[in-house]
Amino acid sequence: MAELRYNPLLGDWVMVASNRANRPHMPKGYCPFCPGSGKVPDDYDVLVYPNDFPVLSADPPEPDPVATSLYKTAKSYGQCEVILYSPDHRKTLPELSVDHIGKLIDLWTERFAEMEKSPKHQYVMIFENRGEECGVTMPHPHGQIYAYPHVPLKLRTELDNCKHHYEENGTCLFCDMNREEKAYEQRVIVENDHFISYIPFFTDYPYGVFIVSKSHKTALTDFTSEEKLSLASILKDTTGAMDMLFDKLFPYMMVMHQRPVNGENVEDHYHFHIEFYPPLREKDRIKWYASSEMGAWAAANPAAVEETAPRLREAYKRYLEKEGRQS
Residue 67: pLDDT band with limits 50, 70, 90: very high
CATH 3.30.428.10 fits 2-323, yes or no: yes
Mean pLDDT of 180-193: 98
49-59 tens-digit pLDDT: 999 889 999 99
Nearest Cα neighbor of 142 from 104, 100, 103, 99 is 104
- What is the residue-wise DSSP string for 82-146? EEE--S-TT--GGGS-HHHHHHHHHHHHHHHHHHTTSTT--EEEEEEEESGGGT-S--SSEEEEE
| Domains of the chain, residue spans | 2-323
Residue percentage of the chain with pLDDT more than 90: 89
Residues 276, 127: Cα–Cα separation, whole Å: 10
On whether the CB atoms of residues 67 and 31 are closer than 8 A, the answer is no
The SS3 assignment for 168 reads helix
pLDDT at 26: 58
pLDDT score, position 30 = 84
For the annotated catalytic residues, the residue numbers are 142
Q: What are phi and psi of 294, to 5 degrees?
A: -75, -40
Segment 244-283, tens digit of pLDDT? 999 999 999 999 999 999 989 999 999 999 999 999 999 9
Model pLDDT, residue 18: 74
pLDDT score at 132: 87
Q: What is the pLDDT of residue 137?
A: 82
For the cut 70, the answer to whether the pLDDT of residue 28 exceeds it is: no
pLDDT tens sequence across 143-173: 999 999 999 999 999 999 999 999 999 999 9
Strand partners, 151: none
Output the pTM of the full model.
0.95
Q: Is the pLDDT of residue 237 over 70?
A: yes
* Tens-digit pLDDT profile for residues 193-211: 999 999 999 999 999 999 9
- pLDDT band for position 25 (50/70/90)? low
What single DSSP character describes residue 258?
-
Closest CA to 246 of 325, 327, 311, 151: 311
Q: Mean pLDDT in the chain?
A: 95
Cα 39 to Cα 65, 145, 192, 238, 279, distances in angstroms: 36, 19, 38, 31, 32
